[in-house]
Amino acid sequence: MTTGAGECFAAARNAWVRAATMRFETDERIDAALVAGSLGRRTADNWSDVDLVVVLDRDAKDDILTNRDEFVRRFGAAVFVFDSPWNAPLDGAQVNALYNVDGPWPLYVDWDLWPPGRGAVSPDVQVLLDRVGLPVTRALFDEYRSWPRQSGPDPTPERLRRARLAMLPIIAKCLVRRDLARAQQILANLGYQTGSTATDLAVAANTMWTDTRPDATEPLARTIDHMLLIASQVVEGA
């Protein structure tokens, strides 16, 4: 089941990237767009999501950063948007958006929104658009972006609920990928200690979802319901 679903998801993901690239090409507010992560390294599998770097035009930077939620929602049917400023440079932003795409699985996109002086092409990224001739660096992407960042948020109950909503799709993906150690670590970080078997982790994920579901919008709830159903079927069929 995961093979067919994974192939369908990969096709939908790749179609989304092509459509996003076309939008970048017609938006003069964007100087450059890069794909990082496993897609940038060319090590992606069928379940890989998308890590984007968008280098903003100097005159448009402030407007897009201020209205970044609205900006990322223009690229698809986003059922959840989560701001992660602690993953961004002090003069930029990171936004994580979960989109429903054509296929059996939603697509998570990590948007790194950078001002013009931050952009560079590392060996492990792929260029989707470059209007300005970005400099080339030998540093790998994670090494290159090792600049000062904002501190993490205070662990308020509201922030914890949002974090749980943000991470449930990732936990579900870990289960279908059989990346059990990562699923267990995420659950522990969010307050759910559990055993290490796939069954243990699926039960804990569903428990966290039961606790968190009242905070979800109906479109997000339907999406996570579907993801956890597929993950549970994979675990039961293993």
| Predicted confidence (pLDDT) at residue 152 exceeds the cutoff of 80 | no
| Predicted confidence (pLDDT) at residue 142 exceeds the cutoff of 70 | yes
Return the minimum-mean-pLDDT range out of 63-67, 123-127, 143-147: 143-147
Q: Within a 10 A sphere around the Cβ of 49, how many other Cβ atoms? A: 22
| Predicted confidence (pLDDT) at residue 76 exceeds the cutoff of 60 | yes
Identify the architecture of domain 2-144 in CATH.
2-Layer Sandwich (3.30)
Per-residue three-class SS string for the chain: CHHHHHHHHHHHHHHHHHHHHHHHHCCCCEEEEEEEHHHHHCCCCCCCCEEEEEEECCCCHHHHHHCHHHHHHCCCEEEEEEECHHHCECCCEEEEEEEECCCCCCEEEEEEEECHHHCCECCCCEEEEECCCCCECCCCHHHHCCCCECCCCCCCHHHHHHHHHHHHHHHHHHHHHCCHHHHHHHHHHCCCCCCCCHHHHHHHHHHHHHHHHHHCCHHHHHHHHHHHHHHHHHHHHC
Report the chain's mean pLDDT, rounded to a whole number. Answer: 94
**137 or 85, greater pLDDT:** 137
How far is 3 from 174, CA to CA, in rounded Å?
A: 15
Whole-number pLDDT of residue 128: 98
| Predicted confidence (pLDDT) at residue 238 exceeds the cutoff of 80 | no
Q: pLDDT (tens digit, 9 = 90+) per residue, 100-109?
A: 998 779 999 9
Whole-number pLDDT of residue 44: 96
Q: pLDDT (tens digit, 9 = 90+) per residue, 188-220?
A: 999 999 999 999 999 999 999 999 999 999 999
Whole-number pLDDT of residue 104: 78
Whole-number pLDDT of residue 5: 81
pLDDT confidence band for 91 (50 / 70 / 90): very high
Whole-number pLDDT of residue 2: 53
How far is 107 from 128, CA to CA, in rounded Å?
A: 18
Spans of all domains in the chain:
2-144, 157-237
**85 or 43, greater pLDDT:** 43
Q: What is the arithmetic mean of pLDDT over 184-191?
A: 96
How far is 199 from 33, CA to CA, in rounded Å?
A: 40
Whole-number pLDDT of residue 3: 54
Percent of the chain surpassing pLDDT 90: 85
| Predicted confidence (pLDDT) at residue 149 exceeds the cutoff of 90 | no
pLDDT confidence band for 6 (50 / 70 / 90): confident
Whole-number pLDDT of residue 47: 93
